[in-house]
Amino acid sequence: MPLKPFAPNHGADKKMFLLKPRGFCAGVVRAIDVVKIALDLYGPPVYVRKEIVHNMHVVDELRKAGAIFVEELEEVPEGARAIFSAHGVAPSVRKQAKERRLEVIDATCPLVTKVHLEAVRFARDGFSIVLIGHKDHDEVIGTLGEVPQCSYLVETVDDVDGLELPDPSRVRYLTQTTLSLDETRDIIGRLKERFPLVQGPPAQDICYATENRQMAVKAISEVVDLLLVVGSQNSSNSKRLVEVGDNFGVRSFLVNDRGDVDPVWLEGVKNVAVTAGASAPEHLVQELIEFLRGHGYQQMEEIELVDEDVRFSLPSELMISIR
């Protein structure tokens, strides 16, 4: 992707580079809208299984508005209204919701649903599925739950070496949507060495938002001395941005908000880049910018790598109520 021209800082002044795209993706916008609209339509309480998106500020705000966050559906009263998070759920959770007669609104990101459908199709066609992802992540738990009998999770190249599959000629791989592009490429490369006939999905599972944010970090890496990523510690795509920065030689930190920034990090730093994971609200970025201004970063330039205009429609169960 071509990078629009920007001016590296050759002067003595400190400068901030604000990366774009950053922050909310279409799946996160949709999931937060689902909770807000459900609260408006039905009034509190509305139950949400797991964090609707992986950001403590978003969750706290929705909790204040009347959402009740639970870990599992046993905590939801029978017959109540429950929202599934953007990360998706396994079929066993849908079954449990039915048994408890819950009014479900599914805020699973459509790009996660795509991966679920691929898993089901590959399994139906008799393939073993190697899922590349992180073991305890909600999305991975949901995807593995679609076809547990023929799914194999790998997190590293070493995991690929340890794979024992029933038929090495019938293998397909899928990935979590929020992985590092570079690490995933290495794992897929090893998979192809071990299983030459392995194939992936027709279009990569790592989503556009994850890719764009990582590309922006790479594009700025030669110019900056420090990268600050706004995002929560349990946000996979935010953590990957920190890794990408580190891998490209930029000291990188993940911060929930400006309160996490240690001023020591800024000592001797002329150029700092700021970005945000796909679940981090923009107001936290703006607060961080103000903080950096207060520390002498008076110049700011926004670097736009690509124009993101993806939108997802609301879940049909909510649209029916709106009409």
Footprint of ligand SF4 on this chain (CB under 6 A)? 25-28, 86, 109, 111-112, 177-178, 207, 209-210, 237, 278
In whole angstroms, how close is the CB of 320 to ligand SF4 at the nearest point? 23
Q: Is the bond leading into 8 cis (omega within 30 degrees of zero)?
A: no
Residue nearer to ligand SF4 on the CB measure, 138 or 195: 138
Residue nearer to ligand SF4 on the CB measure, 177 or 180: 177
Residue nearer to ligand SF4 on the CB measure, 25 or 102: 25
Q: Is the bond leading into 168 cis (omega within 30 degrees of zero)?
A: no
In whole angstroms, how close is the CB of 116 to ligand SF4 at the nearest point? 12
In whole angstroms, how close is the CB of 193 to ligand SF4 at the nearest point? 28
User: How far is the C-alpha of 319 from the C-alpha of 317, rounded, in Å?
Assistant: 6
Give the SS3 label for residue 243. helix
DSSP 8-state class, residue 42: H
Residue nearer to ligand SF4 on the CB measure, 128 or 275: 275
Short-list 110, 137, 88, CA closest to 240: 137
How would DSSP label each residue in 116-159? Answer: HHHHHHHHHTT-EEEEES-TT-HHHHHHHHHSGGGEEEE-SHHH
In whole angstroms, how close is the CB of 25 to ligand SF4 at the nearest point? 3
Q: Which residue is nearest to ligand SF4 (CB)?
A: 27
Residue nearer to ligand SF4 on the CB measure, 58 or 292: 58
Cα→Cα distances 284→73, 165, 201, 231, Å: 31, 46, 36, 9
Residues in CB range of 140: below 8 A, 6 or more apart = 131, 133, 134, 153, 176
In whole angstroms, how close is the CB of 142 to ligand SF4 at the nearest point? 12
Q: Is 225 exposed, middle or buried (0-12, 13-18, 19+ CB in 10 A)?
A: middle
Is residue 86 within 8 A of residue 53, CB to CB? The reply is yes
First-last CA distance in the chain: 41
Residue nearer to ligand SF4 on the CB measure, 24 or 195: 24
Give the SS3 label for residue 268. coil
Short-list 297, 284, 303, 249, CA closest to 16: 297
In whole angstroms, how close is the CB of 86 to ligand SF4 at the nearest point? 5
Residues classed as catalytic: 139
